[in-house]
Amino acid sequence: MGQEPRDNEAIRFPVSVKGVVIRRGQVVLLRNERDEWELPGGKLELSESPQVCVAREIAEELGLQVEPSALLDTWVYRITPGVQVLIVTYGCQETVEGEAVVSDEHKQIRWFPLSQVPALRMPEGYKASIISWAEMLGRR
């Protein structure tokens, strides 16, 4: 007889799907409760794909309509001791250019010139995803 699958013994992480939205050389970011800048997005629900999740979250958090175009990166982010999240980032294209508005989930919204991203207080993985999407857009 074979052994029982051991999947339930694996370490499990919440999954947060984030989107990079660049408009005219600027990326939209949100300030969170830890006073860090972050990409818009949120927790993946069981009933949805990562692409549906990021489009839904960006609509909820910013009021922007986007279509995820490219999977950029994945990594495990240690938010605080004992709290890790699997981050999945997508490059997103706006389907309709609208006014971005901040929801009550964040303290502030701001469009940053891409040149300012390296100096921002935010996880390095987000910075890498922003640079990657900007490079992809530059090649189109």
User: Domains plus CATH for the chain?
Assistant: 12-135 (3.90.79.10)
To the question of pTM greater than 0.75 for the whole model, the response is yes
Query: What is residue 10's predicted lDDT score, i.e. its pLDDT?
Result: 67
**Confidence band for 26, pLDDT divided at 50, 70 and 90:** very high
**Confidence band for 114, pLDDT divided at 50, 70 and 90:** very high
Query: What is residue 9's predicted lDDT score, i.e. its pLDDT?
Result: 62
Asked if residues 29 and 140 have their Cβ atoms less than 8 Å apart, the reply is no
Query: What is residue 11's predicted lDDT score, i.e. its pLDDT?
Result: 73
Q: Where does 1-140 have alpha helices with state H? A: 50-62, 124-138
- Which of 8-17, 20-29, 58-67 has the least mean pLDDT? 8-17
Q: Average per-residue pLDDT in the chain?
A: 90
For 9-29, what is the HEC assignment? Answer: HCCCCCEEEEEEEEECCEEEE
Cα–Cα dist 102/114, whole Å: 20
